[in-house]
A and B are shown apart, each in its own frame.
Chain A
């Protein structure tokens, strides 16, 4: 094991996951490729969603990959940051909306 859990060079080895389980790996990459093709949403829109999710998942590989990908698609810095804010808003909203549980419990226990 290296001194760090994350190595940027490992991103380029993503395709090697099929070495240990080819059938499932191939199925995953086929699915992955299909998901990102132009459909009801454009490839550009999908890349921005991926960038936002990469941040909420806090996946360094995904942030690296989709920052580069969105740049290649001509996405501006403002658009990229707004996408991340959408992810962040859902994350913080998800935390805050659970406070209704806390409030319910407080009211039940403490009037």
Chain B
């Protein structure tokens, strides 16, 4: 059984639950005083402004903010109390657009996307569209949360889903600290279930990737070294197998921003991100080939901009009015949180970018 350590910022009625308040915080202080350059000033100096999209390759669709977990660093501020859920009608709009867009990847996220009552219908329909790669970002514990989710590994297998799951560490202590008591054991059981049907196993063609994000106010280490350590520990301790480890930097928004401020790490963390700024990572930021769709159908440059309510800068910014041509001409919206994607080896929903 997993135990929730926290409540969402929204439930706590925290000011940081409001996107405006987060953006204000990120605009002020060390950035307003000029102690650190704004992200805009930084990329302008390197000739990346305005930041323009490349070919659209990935649709990342957020099926809702409801989740069975309340992780301390969640950028979505997801939790059981969140009621925002995508309707079947909006899903249908997404399907219509995906067919025409030429995107090769559909990336389903949440919250726990499986908690959307139309999740299975959507996956079944999406798998008929001819997309190369359908990703489901599963938090793992959902598979063990309730009988109705126990068949998910078979369902994923049937539709050739690429499963991407968060596991912040190969030890119980570090994982439970970030994701809630009991999460590690439930995640291990879920990984065993996924392995059992072939996920992560050699030559099965069923891809299981793990996502690592740091448990505190520091950046991820080398992705390849971490993958090696994860693989060895999970194999030795639990006989668990997976394909790739994706190392993701925590962006300073939502619950992670709340944590940074409360633990008095905000300024140092921003200094570290700015110091680690890597122009090569700017070339490969995910917002240049990805489009994020919110539960209510609005379009965003990325899932982080979605959480900051920064809709794309085109007149037609809803999935119902999808206009690929206008979209390709847009300027991508940026703010200080973008430093998280350009630090070190770069960071994206697919791991490092350089």
Contact = CB atoms under 8 A, between A and B. Distances in A.
19 contacts: A12-B271, A42-B225, A43-B225, A44-B225, A44-B229, A71-B216, A71-B218, A72-B214, A72-B219, A73-B222, A74-B169, A74-B170, A74-B212, A74-B221, A74-B229, A74-B230, A76-B169, A76-B173, A76-B174
Nearest to A42: B225
A42 B224 CA distance: 12
Task: Please indicate which of the listed interface residues A12, A42, A43, A71 has the most CB atoms of chain B within 10 Å of its own CB.
Answer: A71
Contact of A68 (B218, B229, B275): B218
A73 B275 contact: no
B166 to A, nearest CB: 14
Contacts of B275: 12
Interface in A36-62: 42-44
Interface of A: 12, 42-44, 68-69, 71-74, 76-77
Nearest to B275: A12
A76 B171 contact: yes
Contact count band on B: 10 to 19
A68 B272 CA distance: 11
A71 B225 contact: no
B186 interface: no
Contacts of B212: 74
Nearest to B168: A74
A73 B221 contact: yes
A72 B221 contact: yes
A42 B173 CA distance: 24
A77 B177 CA distance: 13
A28 B222 CA distance: 23
A43 B271 CA distance: 25
Nearest to A8: B268
Nearest to B272: A68
B226 A73 contact: yes
A92 B163 CA distance: 51
B222 to A, nearest CB: 7
Interface in B168-227: 169-171, 173-174, 212, 214, 216, 218-222, 225-226
A44 B232 CA distance: 14
Given A69-B221, A73-B226, 12 more contacts: A43-B222, A71-B214, A71-B216, A72-B214, A72-B221, A73-B221, A73-B222, A74-B221, A74-B226, A74-B229, A76-B173, A76-B174
Contacts of A73: 221-222, 225-226, 229
A68 B173 CA distance: 18
Interface in B248-294: 271, 275
B212 to A, nearest CB: 8
B80 to A, nearest CB: 29
Task: Please indicate which of the listed interface residues A68, A69, A72, A76 has the most CB atoms of chain B within 10 Å of its own CB.
Answer: A72
Contact of A72 (B174, B220, B271): B220
